[in-house]
Structure 1
């Protein structure tokens, strides 16, 4: 009887476990574009825009390959979520309005949805067009950070530059900052701007272009550390959560909103994946708002995945993964204060602190100085008004004296005589 009872309990446990099994129902993937040419050259750079096949800031063939392979990875990872053939109702693709991000998304989709059957429109071409949506860069408020329309954020950045950590890093690397200024012909180099020189040198070396002698391995290593610190400064180091509310929290808010909506079963809904093609700063902004940023610039084609699961009992949970190396499996990311498989309601509660309900209002500068000015102005106005009242009362009192008092006329005659 005992073995039978144990067997029964085991069977019930298996059935209950199967009933509560998590099922992937929706995923958001945010990735950085692939390898590109430098965004710009420094004044003394021997390699100018004409040395690059498509000019500055353009996706290279290496970058195209990186995203084609990422698309193949996503195909394998989400083969049970997505149809094998492209279905326009299942995926929505959004990109910033840059050639390199638009092309990265297209290369990615080529790996994710190789055409088959009726979707093949040219037998010798294993590719099909898939729409990628965007908005003009001047209107982009979801995928391009840091946004420069926020006075409070600019104030936070100014305050960051006066923190002990920022000043210590500046002092530690002052010799490198001066070296870059002297060797590149740039008039203004700081901890926050010197990363651009590293980026240019990195791109050139990656594409087998000779770099100047002064850019030794030791110098490049120090520039790399400054570059990574520059990313930390933009979204953290000082008042990280407030910076997130004014920057990456905007994207996080949209993602959380979509997760909450997709967690509610709807037989009519067919969307399974939101694909976002953007930049290293976009990935950093999102990860900083989630407090999972590792402090290192996201590499080309790095991908942050946010997966929504639902079990048969209706409970929803969120898991996050980060793929920043194609040679290893994606790293699981744990939201601070929650488990790796974070219940959706907890995910929403925790992330709420990094999401602004009224960003435009929070972007306004604190009004302490303005209040003092108003108080001072009111005090001056009050004094002037009091003085005016005193003068007016004195004037009225004089008029109330009896007309028979000849002294009144005598005073007027004396005043006139004094002024003549």
Structure 2
């Protein structure tokens, strides 16, 4: 992943050691070092960007893009007069700076006090808000000290954040696509009783919202756009229209959470995981395995992404709490080496800046999960060949039938064409006609 490319050589994406099914066995066969105190060896962080302006306005929205200083979808800074550390009014840049400081306190003694490029690798999606969130976070995580200061008036230093163009991002921007099988699963999800019941139950409500907003064809899957816009406006103290009552906002929020389940759960969740969150999980597994086996490796790998990234991963791991990941929330993977030399994985989720991160545990494992067990339990969620699995579920026999029918159709078309050609020529030459060769009399 050096240079930001998933799967290439580098700290962000180490070279594969063995096939996925052999990772657990490899770890069991590794020589054990002498007994030592339990120690943190490696950390992977996945966080959502900070507070932002709406991604777009609805047709009848009184607040269009000109209302926002940097336009739509941009990370926000502290508004004049707003409290600097109040949970509800901390704006995007400060939220991530504060998260960076919290991470500095958590990993004090593990990370160097100053930035060292050998220790840290940061990758972001190619969006202004995620790139800027990563930069603000790093400002809090690695405050400038001593020789790293390049100007006494600037308490900040540039730290590289890697990315790839949005169209090429097959790691962090969800839902991943194009993927025909995932689209087929979405269509099948729409036919489930749960989806049909929710559609019927919310039909009148969605019609009311569509009339008030001017949005056509509003569905369970697109209602989140309305909620997101209204939420951003409300968060920034813009008065909402009278129809957007607290009850309406609550119901829109429920539909927003439902849209996440539609995408990554509700129906065939394991297969959806393999096509979505399991792709990122595969990269995380590979990095944990590499850190447990390599003598030299970075200490910290950071992904700066979106709420859908967190939901896709957590739903794949079956640890999703059913609610949208808040701004600057952070999922942590911590790899420890125990005093007997074995490795364990611990997961935490920081979704509230006033509380300690919540410990998370895989189903079938303790919160301090042995690395071989973590790999074994997550293996069914990881695609063996994402491109192939995305092509659908047609069997080999079905493919052979399709090919045979295509060949027969082509042969039949050629025969028909040949027959028509012969008939045309027969009709063009009436009985008794004789071609006159060049040089003969034409009398």
Q: How far apart are 1:313 and its partner, in Å?
A: 2.6
Q: Which ranges in structure 2 are unaligned for 5 or more consecutive residues?
A: 1-33, 78-90, 416-443
Whole-angstrom distance in 2 between the partners of 1:373 and 1:263: 45
Q: How far apart are 1:312 and its partner, in Å?
A: 3.8
Whole-angstrom distance in 1 between the partners of 2:143 and 2:71: 29
Aligned to 2:382: 355
Q: Residues 362-401 of structure 1 correspond to what in structure 2 (within 5 A)?
A: 362-367=389-394, 371=398, 374=401
Aligned to 2:63: 47
Higher normalized helix content (fraction of residues): 1
Q: How far apart are 1:131 and its partner, in Å?
A: 0.6
Q: Which has the larger radius of gyration?
A: 1
CA pair 314-204 structure 1, distance change in 2 beyond 3 A: same
Q: Residues 8-407 of structure 1 correspond to what in structure 2 (within 5 A)?
A: 19=35, 21-61=37-77, 62-266=91-295, 269-367=296-394, 371=398, 374=401
Whole-angstrom distance in 2 between the partners of 1:21 and 1:312: 5
What whole-Å deviation, never above 9, does each CA across 1:197-223 have from its counterpart, x for those lacking one?
000000001001111110000000000
CA pair 308-205 structure 1, distance change in 2 beyond 3 A: same
Whole-angstrom distance in 2 between the partners of 1:39 and 1:68: 22
CA pair 23-376 structure 1, distance change in 2 beyond 3 A: closer
Aligned to 1:405: none
CA pair 379-131 structure 1, distance change in 2 beyond 3 A: closer
What whole-Å deviation, never above 9, does each CA across 1:299-340 have from its counterpart, x for those lacking one?
100100000001243200000000011111110010111110
- Which piece of structure 1 moves more, 307-316 or 245-254? 307-316
CA pair 141-375 structure 1, distance change in 2 beyond 3 A: closer
Aligned to 1:413: none
Q: Which ranges in structure 1 are unaligned for 5 or more consecutive residues?
A: 1-17, 389-420
Contact 2:291–2:297 (8 Å) recurs in 1: no
Q: How far apart are 1:370 and its partner, in Å?
A: 8.1
Contact 2:334–2:345 (8 Å) recurs in 1: yes
Whole-angstrom distance in 2 between the partners of 1:370 and 1:57: 48
Whole-angstrom distance in 2 between the partners of 1:73 and 1:361: 42
Whole-angstrom distance in 2 between the partners of 1:80 and 1:381: 71
Contact 1:176–1:223 (8 Å) recurs in 2: no
Contact 1:290–1:351 (8 Å) recurs in 2: yes
Q: How far apart are 1:372 and its partner, in Å?
A: 8.5
What whole-Å deviation, never above 9, does each CA across 1:237-285 have from its counterpart, x for those lacking one?
111110010011111000000100101250xx14100011000000111
Deviation >3 Å, runs of 4+? 18-21, 375-382
Structure 2 residue matching 1:304: 3-state secondary structure = strand
CA pair 311-372 structure 1, distance change in 2 beyond 3 A: closer
TM-score (ref. length: structure 2): 0.79
Whole-angstrom distance in 1 between the partners of 2:49 and 2:114: 24
TM-score (ref. length: structure 1): 0.83
Whole-angstrom distance in 1 between the partners of 2:72 and 2:403: 54
Whole-angstrom distance in 1 between the partners of 2:407 and 2:115: 72
CA pair 209-313 structure 1, distance change in 2 beyond 3 A: same
Structure 1 residue matching 2:293: 3-state secondary structure = coil
Contact 2:122–2:161 (8 Å) recurs in 1: yes
CA pair 167-381 structure 1, distance change in 2 beyond 3 A: same
CA pair 173-20 structure 1, distance change in 2 beyond 3 A: farther
Q: How far apart are 1:381 and its partner, in Å?
A: 5.9
